Structure formats: C-alpha cells, structure tokens
Amino acid sequence: MSSQKSSLMSIERVLIDGQWRVSSGSQVFQSINPATRAPLPREYPVSDWAEVERAILAAAQVSRELQNAPGERFASFLERFAERIDARAGEFIATANQETGLPVEPRLKIAELPRTTNQLRQAAAAARDGGWSLPTIDTKNNIRSRLAAIGPVVVFGPNNFPFAFNSAAGGDFAAAVAAGNPVIAKGHSSHPSTTRLFAEEAFEAVRESGLPPAFVQLIYRTSHADGCRLVSHPSIGASGYTGARETGLVLKEAADRAGKPIYLELSSINPICVLPGAVAERSDELAAEFTTSCLMGTGQFCTNPGLVLLLASSQTESFMSAVRAKFEGAPIGTMLSAGVLRNFESGIQSLIAAGAEVLTGGQAGGGSGFSYRNTLLKVSGDKFLLSPHALQTEAFGNSSLFVIAKDEAQMLAILAELEGNLTGAIYSAKDGQDDALYSRIEPVLRVRVGRLINDKMPTGVAVSPAMNHGGPFPATGHPGFTAVGIPASMRRFSMLQCYDSVRQHRLPPELQDKNPRPGLWRSIDGQCSQADLG
C-alpha cells in the first residue's frame, strides 16, 4: 500500500540521470516480509511523471552517445557487474530472502544467483562476439544490413524471481544491455531493496567501465497511468515486461498505440499429457516427479504444471490417489505476497465455479505467513469442454488441475481448446506402446506451446542458446521471441538497420569489407563466411 511521505531521511533514493536523487514523488511504499506478514523498515518512493520523464530523456541522450559503440564496451560492463554481484552475494541473498520468503538454499544461493551472473557473462560474450547482429552483405547490389540497438529499454521485473528476472540485473536487462541499449529498470514492489542493491552495483560497474553515468537508471514504482506513458514515450525504444496478464495487456495497449515494441510474459498453465502406457509403467515415479515439480517454490514458477491431461482408467485413479497423498504429506510453502495469495484464492474459486472438484486442499493457511494448502482439483473431459476458458484460469501457486478424458478423441478435443503456453509436456511409455497416440496429439499440442518437452517436468528454464522461454498468447505477447536464451533474447531489443550504397568508411565495422573480428560469421551473398571481402 502507498502512503504519503513521512520523512525524507527514511526514504530511499532513485537512480536518475547518473545520480542517486531524492524523489520528487509524494507517495511512498514498503515491502512486506511474506513469512511474517510484517512491513520491512525501508520506505521507497512512487515516482511522479516529471521524474520518469527525466529518466527517459537521460536515457535517450545516452543512446545517442553510444550509437555504433563496439560490443566490447557493453561486454566489459556486464562482466564487471557480474563480478561485483558475486562479491556482495551474501547481502543479496539475505535481502531477497527477507523480501520474498524464498529459501536461501538451494533456491537463492545455489540456483538463482549463480544463474543470474551466468546470464550476464553469457550476454557479455555475445556482445563481444557480435554475431547476434546477423551482419548480411549483398555485394552485387552493395546493400548491407545488421541488427543494432533500438534505443532506451524499460524493464519491468516480476515478483517470483528477485535475481534471475530482476529489472536491474536479470535476463531482459542483460539482453538489452548486450544489444547496446541503456536500461530504465522499473523495480517490483515486492522486492525493492533487492533491486536497489543491484542498481548500486550496476551504477559502480557503469563508472568503472567508462559508460555514460545514466546508462542504468532505477525507479521503484509509478502510477498505472505513468507506466503507460513510459512504455509509449517517443524516446523509448522498447520494453520488456514479466508479470500479471491484466497489467501487461494494459501496457501493451499503450505501447501498441504508439508503435512501440513491448515483449510480454504473461500467463501459462503448462499442460502435461500423461499417456496410458506411462501411467501403467511408472505411476509411482511420475507421482513423485509431478509433486516435486508442482510444489517447488510453492508453485510460483511461470513453468509450473497447472493442468494434467489423462485418460480415464483404474490406473489413472490410482495415480491421482498417489499424487493426492504426496500433496497432503508435503510441506506448505510461503507465498510471495498478500497479492499473490489473494489472486491464487481467486483462481481456485474460479476453477471450482467452472466445475472443478477439490481432491485436497482448497483452503488458505497451513504454513508460515501468506500460505495456502497444497491443492489438487479434478474435472471430467465433458465438463472441461463446456467451459474450456474458465477451466484454464491460472492459479499461480501450489495447485494443479487433473482433466480426465473419456477416450482418445476427447483428449484431442481438449488439447484443441488449450490457449497458448510457455511449455507443454508429454509422458509416454518407454516400450513404445504410446507412440501411436503420441503421433496424434503432438501436432495439436506443438502449436500451442513454445517449448515441447518429453518425459520431463516443465519447472525450470535452462539458460541455453537453444532455449525458447516464450510461446503463443497468452503465454507471451508474441510467439516469435524468447525471454531466455542468448543471443536470441537480445534481438527483441534491436532494430534492423540497412545501408544502401554507403561508403566503406561510413559503414559499421561488421559491414565493411574487412571482417573486424576473427571468428565473426557474416552472411555474404547467401553464404556464411568469416572471410574479408575483395
């Protein structure tokens, strides 16, 4: 909740135009420790429009200064930033634990913080190499093109990954910087202190690497109206947003009206099809694997398996009973915030209203702080097909919905009603008995998910050049892009620049006849080559 400013001495500063400044906004807010439900002591400002626009104009000036800057400049910053994070790791982990309730080990210390610095270093390598820009040369017509920085990028971070998707250090930040863009980080209200720490280290890394001081800026919160003005401002190049569907679509509408690219990660239930042969072959193993995946992090992952499609049988009933027992015996985790708990309760009630039956859970409480009992629901295929949209409501947390098809034809009909998702998984028998059914359902599922998975749960996203962390709407705002996987994720924050009959010395180095870097691949007259021209 926001409130009026109390004392300037107690309010954290914003990072605007190369300086940590007292905010001109009149409202403040505090984050809440979700494990205790108690407010944390620091107050953070809600920036007014004058402050937001000052950040935009400063970023635009930096963007002009860095036009055609070599990738080495951005690589040096990213590497130094990663080093500084590593040196302050203990403080990052303790702060994020307080603000999110996520466990120190293995989540924050072993998994997420190392992944974050690894992303920064991967982005640095891609910036230095330059191949991400796809330099293309047509010698006959003397036309050359490349991808290059699009301009200032706004990054909106989510609540569930305080490190790896943080607006001032996460995947979108790394991709935007590696592509040569200054970043305005819009922090998440659930973990402002964690984001402030990242901005402090980024600011020092900017100074040490010789980039303009306003290369990285930070605001913590704006009004909804000012958020729309921000993403649609003429001087903004693009925006990246990870969060709730409703808010993301409001921002998209504003950006679309102004013709500004915005890349959204919104909502996904990540369907899993468990075929009959797999259930018969390894039911207990699947029950344990599914429970671990679904309840990990209290289910607060964008790739959490929220819908399981099965064929009706006695073996399916036994499988569901085994999962139910494991859910009831598993610890009940802490949710990220009061808002997450409130939205989760609403999602569960929407599923019940649409015809889902509660197998276990379905009530708030049972754990520390903001918590809700591990919840399993079930619905028949007939009922699902009567209300397919309502029964795909995302309940972001420790729950999942079993959908029981009466036959293979109904399973296909259910798959055909699925909305776009980040992932979709199919479990099949190892001896091949499910292969015929797999070949029928895979084409239907394939076009509804960004990442197709076999015999593996979806929770977790590898930081790999081949990864697609994207998918059809409503998983994202555009099915052609990924938020994870360098260099592909960098291309969201770029524009295609074409040079027609431009003299050699006026061309960017990677488009000149002489290849500027050993190992840089260029497309020359339709052939990939590392050679010089002429």
What pLDDT, in 10s, does the model give residues 182-198?
999 999 999 999 999 99
Could you tell me if residue 521 is inside a domain?
Answer: no
Provide the pLDDT confidence category of residue 2 given band limits of 50, 70 and 90.
low
The residues near 280 (Cβ < 8 Å, ≥ 6 apart) are 315, 429
Could you tell me if residue 432 is inside a domain?
Answer: yes
For residue 259, the tally of other CB atoms under 10 A from its CB is 8
Quick one: pLDDT at residue 8? Answer: 47
**Do residues 203 and 351 both lie within one domain?**
no
Type of residue at 79: E
**Do residues 218 and 337 both lie within one domain?**
no
Catalytic residue among 43, 79, 112, 265: 265
The string of pLDDT tens digits covering residues 518-532 is 899 999 999 999 999
**Do residues 244 and 317 both lie within one domain?**
no
Pairing status of strand 307-311 against strand 449-454: unpaired
CA distance 219 to 407: 53
The string of pLDDT tens digits covering residues 294-318 is 999 999 999 999 999 999 999 999 9
CA distances from 136 to 244, 420, 496, 531 (A): 38, 33, 11, 13
469 near 422, Cβ under 8 Å?
Answer: yes
CATH of the domain at 245: 3.40.605.10
Q: What angle do CA 74, 266, 461 make, to 5 degrees?
A: 60
Element (H, E) at 528: strand 527-529
**Do residues 204 and 298 both lie within one domain?**
no
Q: What angle do CA 77, 78, 84 make, to 5 degrees?
A: 90
pLDDT higher than 80, residue 7: no
**Do residues 91 and 122 both lie within one domain?**
yes
**Do residues 399 and 357 both lie within one domain?**
yes
Task: Indicate the number of domains in the chain.
Answer: 2
Range of the domain at 405: 271-454
Catalytic residue among 51, 294, 302, 394: 302
Quick one: pLDDT at residue 469? Answer: 97
Could you tell me if residue 469 is inside a domain?
Answer: no
The string of pLDDT tens digits covering residues 330-357 is 999 999 999 999 999 999 999 999 999 9
Q: 405's torsion region: left (phi>0), alpha (psi -120 to 50) or beta? A: beta
CA distance 364 to 383: 26
128 near 490, Cβ under 8 Å?
Answer: no
Provide the pLDDT confidence category of residue 5 given band limits of 50, 70 and 90.
low
The string of pLDDT tens digits covering residues 383-431 is 999 999 999 999 999 999 999 999 999 999 999 999 999 999 999 999 9
For 154-169, give the secondary structure using H, E and C.
EEECCCCCCCCCCCCC
The string of pLDDT tens digits covering residues 234-280 is 999 999 999 999 999 999 999 999 999 999 999 999 999 999 999 99
Quick one: pLDDT at residue 534? Answer: 78
Identify the CA nearest to 340 among candidates 371, 363, 307: 371
Pairing status of strand 271-274 against strand 421-427: parallel
**Do residues 24 and 112 both lie within one domain?**
yes
Identify the CA nearest to 336 among candidates 373, 299, 303, 292: 299
Could you tell me if residue 495 is inside a domain?
Answer: no
Would you call 265 a catalytic residue per the annotation? Answer: yes
Type of residue at 266: L
**Do residues 216 and 290 both lie within one domain?**
no
CATH of the domain at 326: 3.40.309.10
38 near 240, Cβ under 8 Å?
Answer: no
Q: What angle do CA 295, 461, 467 make, to 5 degrees?
A: 155
